[in-house]
Structure 1
């Protein structure tokens, strides 16, 4: 079954919405962004989150001690690295956290060779997102899905997803998880109807694929 991640939660209303529709993951953004939350805000939101939903912390070139502190108090259950973090950084992060916390490394899709190179990093999962020179991610646009090698393995798919195109994405790429933020927002805030429609589209696509098989 394709997992669902709703990223960029920052309000108690957002938590109420995801608790109702139960995606598999949610994301708290700790990097500079209009969706950025502080440790205190994330801790309050996490305390209200249904325990069946795993929280992912999103970081860009953050001090590893900052990430480890959030892991230690269980504000986040997984780590998503969206910057220039290399093998040494990731090895040091694993060493300092001292817990089996999954690391998701974002790769910005430019060409297949870059994705092949990126997947040599010691991450548990990779997140494939749209490349933009001035941003590390989160620009709300799709990339050329044909760039993804057929043998890429389990990955999170991000970049411009919505309830209208996610079915095609699942049928074409079979991602481990589909990751969405702006695609379930209206005027910059999470929209309950869009969250519901997106999750319904994913679950329907999964059911259809199972019936075909």
Structure 2
């Protein structure tokens, strides 16, 4: 099975175009005001209308957002999958998903001594379509540029997404070691926060293909 790829933190039309042209399966918008890659619903709507063809999934990343805040974004942006990236409980995720009619997955930071199998099961039981595993940081909610110990990457019947510190130089190795359903990259293909590089995306996608072929 090939490894899917999501390019997250898209803020410009040209970056979305590059991601699509180079084979990304999904693009991610960060609807979190404190992030340097934050985007408004109106700006994301323009990118979707001008750059995204069918069959490229739109993922909306939210951090501890209320139902009203998420619904306000969904009025502007045809988000297909919600990525909960804060401290949302399984019950909160399931309730918002039911109210919005969207599929969802939960990002879990690989904190020291975390019982990752228990955490995965909690969200799986609540209806998650996947689990994203990210590097832990005491303050930042993703986008740290740091990787966690891939040897701790679990196995699971639910789709697992690898994130955190991925770059064109290490993604093939990361896939070979963890065999994830998908990889998620943001800072690893940027020349500045929120500004993607066509060349780096291309190199990253080449690394994904190489890792998937092993």
TM-score (norm 1): 0.90
Distance 1:176 1:107, change over 3 A: same
Deviations 1:82-104 (A, max 9, x none): 0010022112112211x2x3211
Deviations 1:3-46 (A, max 9, x none): 00000000112122123212001100001211101110011111
Alignment of 1:31-70 (within 5 A): 31=32, 32-48=34-50, 49-70=52-73
Say whether 1:166 aligns with 2:171: yes
Say whether 1:138 aligns with 2:139: no
Deviations 1:143-174 (A, max 9, x none): 01122223464211100001111111111111
Q: Partner residue of 2:97?
A: 94
- Aligned counterparts of 1:84 and 1:131: Cα–Cα separation in 2: 13
Q: Which runs of 4+ in 1 moved over 6 A?
A: none
Distance 1:152 1:113, change over 3 A: farther
Say whether 1:190 aligns with 2:186: no
5+ residue gaps, structure 2, are none
5+ residue gaps, structure 1, are none
Distance 1:38 1:74, change over 3 A: closer
Q: Partner residue of 1:206?
A: 212
TM-score (norm 2): 0.90
- Aligned counterparts of 2:72 and 2:136: Cα–Cα separation in 1: 30
**Contact kept in structure 1, 2:5 and 2:182, CA below 8 Å:** yes
Aligned length: 206
Say whether 1:84 aligns with 2:90: no
Q: Partner residue of 1:4?
A: 5
| Per-residue deviation, 1:205 | 2.1
The 3-state SS of whatever aligns with 2:115 is: helix
The answer to which of 39-48 and 13-22 deviates more is 13-22
The 3-state SS of whatever aligns with 1:58 is: strand
**Contact kept in structure 2, 1:68 and 1:93, CA below 8 Å:** no
Distance 1:199 1:182, change over 3 A: same
Greater relative CO, 1 or 2 (CA 8 Å, sep 6+): 2
